[in-house]
Chain A
Amino acid sequence: MNARDLVVATPSGLYCTAGDFHIDPWKPVARAVITHGHGDHARLGMGEYYTSRAGLPILQWRLTGQTFHTFDYGESFDIGGARVSLHSAGHVLGSAQVRIEVDGEVWIVSGDYKRQPDPTCAPFEVVRCDTFITEATFGLPVYRWPRTSDVARDIVAWRDACAERGETAILYCYALGKSQRVLAELMAFTDRPAYTHGAIETGVHVYRAAGVSMLPTIAVGDQPRGTDFAGELVIAPPSAAGSAWLRRFRKAQHGFASGWMRIRGNRRRRNVDRGFVISDHADWPDLLRTVRETGARRVIATHGNTDALVRALNEEGIRTGTFETQFGEDD
């Protein structure tokens, strides 16, 4: 750490000294800039929230009754002595990177991001900077994503194979972001409605209200007792696995949509029949590419497999470091 560091790690979270604000803090602070609505980045208890206009509906759903200042992507504003702007991160609807400029020095806090196309949110914007603070959730070269459209086609083929056997295809997806992205991607291959768990349906409403097109959905909970779900695709949060809620699907196969499914051991550990590799985080080639494209001379990794990424960048001559954070590695 030195005096020119625009962002430092504190026990409350990442902190910008010049602007006296935090980014995605985990303890209550006066001013919080929020990159996106996932629970490990957007928490209750902050005095004021700064966020992207596109991300507001999600924050209002997850953190009701707070004071929000919203900004368009690319719109500059000042907090204290720092000039701040938000730029799309391509992670989920409304996700943002935080650009901070003080005396001509530029830092980016990327939050979570991905580079793959995603019909439910704006694409990642490359912003030049001096220091890039990056995630490293999938920071090993074994993580390389297949084309999402191929995976979506596989999901539909799986549902159809289940249908032939009189089984329900239950696909676990994180409730915010992944579920909606899957529902949007599936439209290219099917128009059959998907059934949703209650936790998923709320997010689907928020996305629909924001104008995102997705497969028609039907809430499982609205169906009468004894409904036969054989041959249908059901989207459920991972927490539903093994729960009593599953009893209504008499014969079922279970799938999980996540970048972690790239590795067979992870799929077996989750005890699912099928793993679909579809991630809202950058894979290894995209982590390296993104660092190069930003032109950053210094990179600080926050969460995930930071060791490998830091060492690999170091060997390319980039100055590196890590910040201890409380950001999770769900995908």
Chain B
Amino acid sequence: MRRFAALYRELDQSTGTLDKRAALAAYFRSAQPSDAAWALRLLSGGKIGGTKARIAASGELREWIAQVSGNAAWLIDESYSHVGDLAETLCLLLDDPATTAPDVPLSEWIEKRLLPIANADAERRRAVVVDAWQTLPFEQRLVFNKLLTGALRVGVSQRLVQQALAEISGVEIARIAQRMLGDWPPTPGFYTALLSQEGSAEDASQPFPFFLASQLDDVESLGDIADWVLEWKWDGIRLQLIRRGERIALWSRGEERLDGRFPEIEQAAAHLRHDAVIDGELLAWRAGDSAPLPFAALQTRIQRKKPGPKSLQEAPMRMLAYDLLELDGEDLRERPLHERRAKLRALLEEHADPRIVLSYDLEVADWSAARALRATARERGVEGIMLKRRGSAYQFGRKRGDWWKWKIDPLTIDAVLIYAQAGHGRRSTLFTDYTFALWQDDQLVPVAKAYSGLDDKEILALDRWIRAHTLEKFGPVRSVEPHHVFELGFEAVNKSTRHKSGIAVRFPRILRWRHDKPFAEADRLDTLKALAR
């Protein structure tokens, strides 16, 4: 555990990517495979026992630390809200042990001490946790607490970890990324196979890492429009469909297997005339409709592991296919896009099933025609236009240059700040999570939360103002005097029965601080409702 804790410290302290990568490589080069496998799991945002293995709930940790540190429960809560990170708070409330106990490896902590007590009675779980608090020095205690509270959040991307692993093993990073998709066990066997030069049977059943588009502000720099394939940017879930023989798998971009959730897509895939791996977008779309249903309809399906007949009927799924990554076992990713698209078109024309269709090319003569078309995006229920270089390979991760998303300008509204809450991590001691409201008669009704869009200077100024103008405290949340107005941008507005305001906004963020606008002149809720689909 000492080595992993030291790695955590190095990652947490360094701001440079190169330093982080060097620290990761040094760790993995010398770690035992049993520890390295767990380290990889944790650095990838994984938890030690999944959701079902309870070792300590947040409330229990607070109760236990109150007892052990001799502080009242309210002082623990005050401390937590001041620090903004529970694992760190638990550490800060205790002094270091007088003597250092012999080091216990990370894998042993997890497999021999923590997992065996998962879901045991509270006394047993408490004993193990408190013993760790009283024997581990600060650095290790922090990592230990992170194991209990969830994610490490240490500013390391999956890609950086994979780069380090590629560096020490000589295995191509694309292969490592592919092997790490989906669920994998944190075992020495998996770790060894991950860094193995040999191809394995497992490799064949894995999906490909997704290629992601970058944000584009304008098309000026892109050159001749003839070099580009233009498609709508559909507002659904990115999906990879794998049909290899009898085997059909659906993967989300979050590397989650979606098997069983979208039976209509799986049925359609079963009838494909060839084995194929298709990249596309999943949308709720009724047969015969000219546009997809709003995102809210898709949302009703995302959470359902086994959709019932009603839900299948109300929000039927359709896959809009973007790309063909593999055909009859042949990896096409290095082929130019236009060639892959031609094969995809042929495959789907032969298939002729409305549940899997091509995301068609937009035919435009020049950039100004493209701009005009993009301006119609919102009324068509799409998010903008995708631009893909005709000759581009299917790469992975977010690499700038060949794939761009050219989104429509956001909808905007002027709203009043009414609540604030402290952020997490870097912003843990600042009020940075804001709730905004619009007028309905003479009431301000909350409509959106936003966390981003202000610069550091504005955040500091607003933080000071919030502290000086707090009306009431509800736990970590403060209500403030209605005074400041902000222009908010968002992608779409949907009707909602779950929100008090009756609407839900998509991707709200702060565009600017309207110092010039008195709060009485902020927008009315009705204005926003009129935009709802």
Measured CB to CB, the residues of A under 8 A from B are 140-144, 262-266, 268-269, 271, 273-274, 305, 307-308, 311-312, 315
Q: Smallest Cβ distance from A179 to chain B, in angstroms?
A: 23
**Residue B15, interface by CB 8 Å:** yes
Taking CB atoms and an 8 Å cut-off, the chain B residues in 5-26 that contact chain A are 12-15
Are A263's CB and B429's CB within 8 A? yes
In the complex, which residues of chain B have a beta carbon less than 8 angstroms from the beta carbon of A268?
425-426
In the complex, which residues of chain B have a beta carbon less than 8 angstroms from the beta carbon of A274?
13
**Residue B88, interface by CB 8 Å:** yes
- The docked-state distance in angstroms from the alpha carbon of A61 to that of B429 is 35
Contact of A311 (CB < 8 Å), options: B14, B74, B426: B74
**Residue B79, interface by CB 8 Å:** yes
A144 closest partner in B (C-beta): B95
**Assuming the A-B contacts A140-B79, A273-B14, are A266 and B429 also in contact, with contact meaning beta carbons closer than 8 angstroms in the complex?**
yes
Are B75's CB and A263's CB within 8 A? no
Are B88's CB and A312's CB within 8 A? no
**Residue B140, interface by CB 8 Å:** no
| Number of residues from B at the complex interface, CB < 8 A | 26
Measured CB to CB, the residues of B under 8 A from A are 12-15, 69, 71-72, 74-75, 78-79, 82-85, 88-89, 92-93, 95, 425-430
Q: List 22 A-B contacts (CB under 8 A).
A: A141-B71, A141-B75, A141-B92, A141-B93, A142-B89, A143-B92, A263-B83, A263-B92, A263-B428, A264-B88, A264-B428, A265-B83, A265-B84, A265-B426, A265-B427, A268-B425, A268-B426, A273-B13, A273-B14, A305-B82, A308-B75, A315-B72
B90 closest partner in A (C-beta): A142
Are B75's CB and A140's CB within 8 A? yes
In the complex, which residues of chain A have a beta carbon less than 8 angstroms from the beta carbon of B88?
263-264
- The docked-state distance in angstroms from the alpha carbon of A274 to that of B427 is 17
Q: Smallest Cβ distance from A237 to chain B, in angstroms?
A: 19
In the complex, which residues of chain B have a beta carbon less than 8 angstroms from the beta carbon of A144?
92, 95
Are B79's CB and A141's CB within 8 A? yes
In the complex, which residues of chain A have a beta carbon less than 8 angstroms from the beta carbon of B69?
141
Are A262's CB and B92's CB within 8 A? yes
Are B72's CB and A142's CB within 8 A? no
Q: Smallest Cβ distance from B22 to chain A, in angstroms?
A: 11
Are A269's CB and B426's CB within 8 A? yes
In the complex, which residues of chain A have a beta carbon less than 8 angstroms from the beta carbon of B427?
265, 269
A268 closest partner in B (C-beta): B426
Of A140, A144, A266, A274, which is in contact with the most chain B CB atoms at under 10 Å from its CB?
A: A140
Q: Smallest Cβ distance from B6 to chain A, in angstroms?
A: 13
- The docked-state distance in angstroms from the alpha carbon of A77 to that of B83 is 45
10 closest residue pairs by CB, A with B = A265-B428, A142-B92, A268-B426, A142-B79, A141-B71, A265-B429, A308-B78, A140-B79, A140-B82, A263-B83
B16 closest partner in A (C-beta): A273
Q: Smallest Cβ distance from B151 to chain A, in angstroms?
A: 15
Are A142's CB and B83's CB within 8 A? yes
Q: Smallest Cβ distance from B61 to chain A, in angstroms?
A: 15
B155 closest partner in A (C-beta): A268
In the complex, which residues of chain B have a beta carbon less than 8 angstroms from the beta carbon of A311?
74
Q: Smallest Cβ distance from A301 to chain B, in angstroms?
A: 15
Are B426's CB and A140's CB within 8 A? no
- The docked-state distance in angstroms from the alpha carbon of A312 to that of B13 is 34
In the complex, which residues of chain B have a beta carbon less than 8 angstroms from the beta carbon of A265?
83-85, 425-429
Q: Smallest Cβ distance from A136 to chain B, in angstroms?
A: 13
- The docked-state distance in angstroms from the alpha carbon of A141 to that of B75 is 8
Contact of B429 (CB < 8 Å), options: A269, A271, A307, A315: A269
In the complex, which residues of chain A have a beta carbon less than 8 angstroms from the beta carbon of B425?
265, 268
In the complex, which residues of chain B have a beta carbon less than 8 angstroms from the beta carbon of A143?
92
- The docked-state distance in angstroms from the alpha carbon of A268 to that of B69 is 27
Q: Smallest Cβ distance from A104 to chain B, in angstroms?
A: 35
- The docked-state distance in angstroms from the alpha carbon of A144 to that of B93 is 8
**Assuming the A-B contacts A264-B88, A265-B83, A273-B15, are A140 and B430 also in contact, with contact meaning beta carbons closer than 8 angstroms in the complex?**
no
Contact of B78 (CB < 8 Å), options: A140, A271, A273: A140
Q: Smallest Cβ distance from B143 to chain A, in angstroms?
A: 13
Q: Smallest Cβ distance from B228 to chain A, in angstroms?
A: 39
In the complex, which residues of chain A have a beta carbon less than 8 angstroms from the beta carbon of B83?
142, 263, 265
Q: Smallest Cβ distance from B361 to chain A, in angstroms?
A: 46
- The docked-state distance in angstroms from the alpha carbon of A143 to that of B72 is 16
Q: Smallest Cβ distance from B179 to chain A, in angstroms?
A: 33
Q: Smallest Cβ distance from A310 to chain B, in angstroms?
A: 12
Task: Name 20 extra pairs, CB < 8 A, besides A273-B14, A312-B75.
Answer: A140-B78, A140-B79, A141-B75, A263-B83, A263-B92, A263-B429, A264-B12, A264-B88, A264-B428, A265-B425, A268-B426, A269-B426, A269-B427, A269-B429, A273-B13, A274-B13, A305-B82, A307-B78, A308-B78, A311-B74
Are A264's CB and B85's CB within 8 A? yes
B81 closest partner in A (C-beta): A140
B14 closest partner in A (C-beta): A273
In the complex, which residues of chain B have a beta carbon less than 8 angstroms from the beta carbon of A140?
75, 78-79, 82
- The docked-state distance in angstroms from the alpha carbon of A192 to that of B12 is 29
A262 closest partner in B (C-beta): B92
Q: Smallest Cβ distance from B149 to chain A, in angstroms?
A: 14
Are A269's CB and B78's CB within 8 A? no
Q: Smallest Cβ distance from A232 to chain B, in angstroms?
A: 20
- The docked-state distance in angstroms from the alpha carbon of A141 to that of B425 is 19
In the complex, which residues of chain A have a beta carbon less than 8 angstroms from the beta carbon of B95?
144
In the complex, which residues of chain B have a beta carbon less than 8 angstroms from the beta carbon of A312?
72, 75
A312 closest partner in B (C-beta): B75
Q: Smallest Cβ distance from A322 to chain B, in angstroms?
A: 15
Q: Smallest Cβ distance from A321 to chain B, in angstroms?
A: 19
- The docked-state distance in angstroms from the alpha carbon of A264 to that of B84 is 10
Q: Smallest Cβ distance from B392 to chain A, in angstroms?
A: 37
In the complex, which residues of chain A have a beta carbon less than 8 angstroms from the beta carbon of B75?
140-141, 308, 312
Of A264, A273, A305, which is in contact with the most chain B CB atoms at under 10 Å from its CB?
A: A264
Are B93's CB and A142's CB within 8 A? yes
- The docked-state distance in angstroms from the alpha carbon of A288 to that of B78 is 17
- The docked-state distance in angstroms from the alpha carbon of A143 to that of B83 is 10
